Structure 1
């Protein structure tokens, strides 16, 4: 009886209820798990010690990724049974590998090379066994289709870039979690529009797992950080969503986003990529040091230095990224190179406005002081 019902069940027929259930299930599991993790971390002293680069002044648990992983695992292994099982099981396998490596890194510290190789491994398995890859550049720079090997290598590069970009932006309260929530919401919308139920479900479930995390991440008394466990899992998921969206859009010329998919994807991950490329340029070119050596030159540190609080910094960045995504949707029927130029120009300006404004105020104040001293 149950088998017959499952055989004819199509989530598309009940999509609203289906997605609500995925969100609620992930939310409940995540919400119930966080207090236990915080309590265990405090008892066992599994806490992050504030250092010279830290934006916090007290010992704080860094195991938030455990609850995020656990809630996603529950969703995938239960309601995932009526979705695209093959790709979800491979996705869960990749999440599990990164979960344990991230956990070890949060507790004992892991060599960067080991993390890099693990990221290559899980991304490679997904690319090869599901053939979910970036096939070409959608006509950008005149490139439509890439040779298979180049396509695989470029897709691997995208995975590594996005995973580590989300790790690098995890520097102030709520930023990585809020940007991940925004990215999952934007991608869930795109997957919903293209009727990709499996990806819409997992994106919505990820939102459900992140909402409780943000509640505790912003808390003063029961604070918890995402840690490398959470940032790697979230970064890997968003990278997979982006690659899946691009792959599906290019496979079907009649796709709703066939002429705009790469611009929409770039708009979604604009801030993490902008900050990563900027920080690597500052470290390697300007300061002549290793691009992997941590410092306080991130954009979010810049907002903090201007006097913004953690919440204000996170809110400003998420609002700007949301505006960019909405604009990218409005531009989606433009010629693709024009879309790209508009996104890069507007994005750069929007993220520079606050710094330019404060710089002008500072110069104005200094000019007044000089005039008064004469």
Structure 2
């Protein structure tokens, strides 16, 4: 795509975000701090609406291709973003959200060709993995910069794979969410963020990233690419195990994630914590992309040291602050 067109798209996304800020301010779509929050000021919520908007702009600039190849993905993305935005404005029941998530994930798997390439017995596993990963994206959206920077690293890795390793999708389908991340980070990657992503943002960009990774796995048969989200996966799984051992309700909000302990108790800058998470994932991605080792060996090489460091840091912080 011509660089001038990229510039136009970035300007459109920037203006869209500014317009949304006026709407959110008028209708009081805000995030109020509570005892579980990592922030202390009232902040506009739902700035992540820029991600479904980016897909709509993608469709307008690539209309024929979008109708032919991306309609199922688009319906799934818009459905999950609409229900998530509604949940940002007014809390919805779990049944309603889960029903829409199931429909959206079905459309995503259809888009990636999973139903044709995977045996029927594997379909329930796919649903659990995709829905679980989407919710992990939501769980990890707790401090300034985290969702945007982490997604930018993953999308950048996918763009590199698509260009240098194997072409698995139209490059613009990766560049549009990258541009949306950059615009969102302009307002969010700050000590005092102008806006938070909200559920619409974390679920929206999570759905797009996961759609790309699923498409890549189905095109290559290489399951190792799920490890492009390994830092998020490790953090969420280990935190859930911890909460189960403590007999806590895993569906209730909490402050047990390592990034929360670092930001809330240790008072480390949100931007530093988010950047460290992103850099760790980047290092893993570099190894992952160029590794010729079998999948099981890659998992061991990544998760044994990463898991050990994670548990050691968390144990140190919990002991230090008597948590």
2:286 aligned partner: 326
Cα separation, 1, equivalents of 2:318 and 2:255: 19
Q: 2:37 aligns with which of 47, 54, 67?
A: 54
Cα separation, 2, equivalents of 1:128 and 1:36: 34
Are 1:191 and 2:162 counterparts? yes
Q: 1:67 to 1:80 in 2, by over 3 A?
A: same
Unaligned 5+ segments in structure 1 are 1-16, 136-145, 251-260, 363-374
Are 1:132 and 2:85 counterparts? no
> Are the counterparts in 2 of residues 279 and 291 from structure 1 also a CA contact under 8 Å?
no
Larger Rg: 1
Q: 1:116 aligns with which of 84, 98, 105?
A: 98
1:271 aligned partner: 231
Cα separation, 2, equivalents of 1:189 and 1:133: 27
> Are the counterparts in 1 of residues 168 and 219 from structure 2 also a CA contact under 8 Å?
no
Q: 1:210 to 1:204 in 2, by over 3 A?
A: same
What TM-score, normalized by structure 1, do the two folds share? 0.78
Instruction: Give the secondary-structure state (helix, strand or coil) at the position aligned to 1:104.
Output: helix
1:8 aligned partner: none
Q: 2:240 aligns with which of 276, 280, 292?
A: 280
Q: 1:86 to 1:156 in 2, by over 3 A?
A: farther
Q: 1:104 aligns with which of 83, 86, 96?
A: 86
2:217 aligned partner: 246
Q: 2:274 aligns with which of 311, 314, 321?
A: 314
CA displacement at 1:77 relative to structure 2:
3.0
Q: Deviations over 1:280-338 (max 9, x none)?
A: 11222x221221111100121122223311011111111111111112234x2123322
> Are the counterparts in 2 of residues 47 and 60 from structure 1 also a CA contact under 8 Å?
yes
Cα separation, 2, equivalents of 1:173 and 1:210: 13
Which range is displaced more, 338-347 or 160-169? 338-347
> Are the counterparts in 1 of residues 258 and 314 from structure 2 also a CA contact under 8 Å?
no
CA displacement at 1:225 relative to structure 2:
0.5
2:252 aligned partner: 293
CA displacement at 1:42 relative to structure 2:
1.9
CA displacement at 1:355 relative to structure 2:
5.2
Cα separation, 1, equivalents of 2:193 and 2:273: 21
Instruction: Give the secondary-structure state (helix, strand or coil) at the position aligned to 1:269.
Output: helix
Q: 1:168 to 1:133 in 2, by over 3 A?
A: farther
Q: CA RMSD in A?
A: 2.4
> Are the counterparts in 1 of residues 73 and 111 from structure 2 also a CA contact under 8 Å?
no
Cα separation, 2, equivalents of 1:90 and 1:230: 19
